[in-house]
Amino acid sequence: MPAVPVKASAETVVEGDDLVVTLGGAWRITGPLPAWRQMLGERSPRAVRIRTAGLERWDSSLVRFVFEVQDWCRNAKAPCDATALPETVRHLVGQLEQAQDKRLSADHSRNFFAELGLAATDLVRQTRQFADFVGECTLSAIGLIRNPGRFRWRDCLSEMQQCGAMAVPIVSLSSFLVGLTLAYTGAIILRQFGGDIWVADIVGLSTLREMGAVMTGVVLAGRTGAAFAAQLGNMKAGEEIDALETLGIAPVDFLVLPRIVALTLMTPLLAMYANCLGIFGGMVVSASVLQIPPNAYWIETQANIGLSDVSVSLIKSLVFGMLIAVAGCLRGLQAERSAAGVGRAATSAVVTSILLLIVADAVFAVLFNVLGI
C-alpha cells in the first residue's frame, strides 16, 4: 500500500489503579514518535497494560517504546502486561532486553599512568624495531650486491622518477626562496660594515654546508617519506604484504630496498640542484638590492667555497635520503590495518624522518668540526 502516514500514537487511559496504553498508527523511526515519560507525567500507576488498536506498520521505534515502558515498570515494581502485542514485537523486545546486559568491554579507555607506561615500553620497542629493520635492510642490500639480477630495477626507476624528477618544482621554489632570505638577512649586518660583497660567502657557505641538504631533506620527508608510508600501509591493510610473505618473498627485498635505493640516489642530486638555486637566489638579491654585479658575486662565491663544502653537502644529503626512506618504509610496514592506521603511519613517517634528519645534522656538525672539514 502507498503509505499514507498515520502518525504513531500511544494513548493512556486510567482504569482503576492501572494505566492502559493503547498503541496505534504507523510507527516509523524517522517520523514523530510519542514519548513515554511525557505521557506518564507525574502519575505512578500500580500496573501497566499495553494494547493495540489500529496498529498499521511498525519498526524498531515501537520495539524501543515498549522496552522503555517495560523498563520503567521494572524499576517501579509495577507489573506490565504486554501480551496483547504481536508475537514478533514481544520477541524483539526480549532480544533488546537481553542485549542490554550483554555489552562486552572493548577497553579503549585512557589512563595517564597507563599511557605513560605504554609510551615508555613503546619507545623501547620502537627503537628495537628500528634497529631490526635497519639490520634487515642491510642484509637485503648485501643480497642485492651478491645478486643484482634479482633487484626490482623497474620499481626502483619508477620510484626515482616519483621522488626525484617530480620533486624538482617544489625543491626549486623552496631552495631559491631560502637563498633569497639568507641574502637579505646577511645584508642587514654586513651593510653596517660596508662588507656587502661577503653576502656571497654567507649564502654560499650556509647553503652548501646546511640549508641545501636540510631543505631538500625536509621537502622529501613531507613528500616522499609520507608517500612511502601511505603506500606500504595501504598494502598492509589490504593484506598485500601478507600475500608476499606467504609466497616467501621478503617485503624488504621486494618493496623497501627499491625505495631506499631510489631515494638515497636521488636526494644528493636534488640537494646539488637545491644548492645551485640557493646561490642563485642570493645572487638575485645581491644584484637587485645590494647592487653587487652577478660576476663579482660569482667570483666571491668561487673563491670561498671549496670541494670540501660540496662533499659535506653530498654526504649529508645521501644520509638524509637513506634515513627518510627507511623511516617512511618502516612506518608503512608498522601501520595498523585500517584507513586511520595508514593516515597515522604517514604522519609519523614525516615526524620520524624530520627528527632523524635534525639529529643526523647535529651529529654531522660535531663530526665535521672534529675532523676539521
Partner 1 sequence: MSAATDKETETSAPGAPPPAVGVEDLECRYGETIVLSGVSFSVREGELFFVIGGSGCGKTTLLRHLIGLMKPAHGIVRYFGENFTNEDLETRRDLLKTFGVLYQNAALWSSMTLGENVALPLEQYTALNRREREEIVSLKLAQVGLAGYEDFFPSELSGGMRKRAGLARALALDPRIVFFDEPSAGLDPVTSRKLDELVLQIRETLGTTMIIVSHELASIFAIADRVIMLDHDARGIIAEGRPRDLAAASDDPRVREFLTRGEEKA
Instruction: Tell me which residues touch partner 1 (CB under 8 A).
Output: 1-2, 28-30, 32-33, 57-61, 63-64, 67-68, 88-89, 92, 95-96, 98-100, 102-106, 108, 336-341
* DSSP codes joined into one string, 256-280: IHHHHHHHHHHHHHHHHHHHHHHHH
Spatial CA neighbour of 283 closest among 274, 292, 271, 273: 292
Please state the closest distance from residue 101 (CB atom) to partner 1, in A: 9
Q: How many CB atoms lie within 10 A of CB 213?
A: 32
Residue 23 DSSP SS3? strand
Cβ of residue 60: shortest distance to partner 1, in angstroms? Answer: 5
- Give min distance, CB of 106 to partner 1, in A: 4
Looking at beta carbons only, is 86 or 117 nearer to partner 1? 86
Cβ closest to partner 1, residue 91 vs residue 125: 91
The CA R_g of the chain, rounded to the nearest whole Å, is: 35
Query: In the block, which residue shows the cell 511525557?
Result: 38
Which of 17, 72, 79 has the alpha carbon at shortest distance from 45? Answer: 17
CA 373, CA 370: separation in Å to the nearest integer?
Answer: 8
Using the minimum distance from each CB to partner 1, give the nearer residue, 95 or 295. Answer: 95
Structure letter (DSSP) for residue 91: H
Nearest approach in angstroms of CB 39 to partner 1 is 15
Nearer Cβ to partner 1 (2/41): 2
* Nearest CA-CA partner of 163 in 221, 113, 105: 221
Instruction: DSSP for 286-350, please give it.
Output: IIIII---HHHHHHHHHHH--HHHHHHHHHHHHHHHHHHHHHHHHHHHH--SSHHHHHHHHHHHH
Q: In the bound complex, what is the minimum distance in angstroms from residue 125's beta carbon to partner 1?
A: 20
Please tell me the distance from the alpha carbon of residue 313 to that of residue 217, in angstroms, as a whole number.
11
- Using an 8 Å Cβ cutoff, are 301 and 279 in contact? yes
Q: Which is nearer to partner 1, 92 or 277 (CB)?
A: 92
Minimum CB separation of residue 340 from partner 1 in Å reads 5
With respect to partner 1, which residue has the nearer C-beta, 99 or 371?
Answer: 99
CB of 96 to partner 1, least distance (A): 4
Which C-beta is closer to partner 1: that of 100 or that of 311? 100
Between CA 315 and CA 164 the distance in angstroms is: 17
Residue whose CB is less far from partner 1, 132 or 239: 239
CB of residue 353 to partner 1, shortest distance in Å: 25
Three-state secondary structure call for residue 143: helix
Give me the residues paired with residue 12 across strands: 21
Q: From the CB of 338, what's the least distance to partner 1, in Å?
A: 4
C-beta separation of 211 from 278 below 8 A: yes
The residue among 50 and 93 lying less far from partner 1, judged by its C-beta, is 93
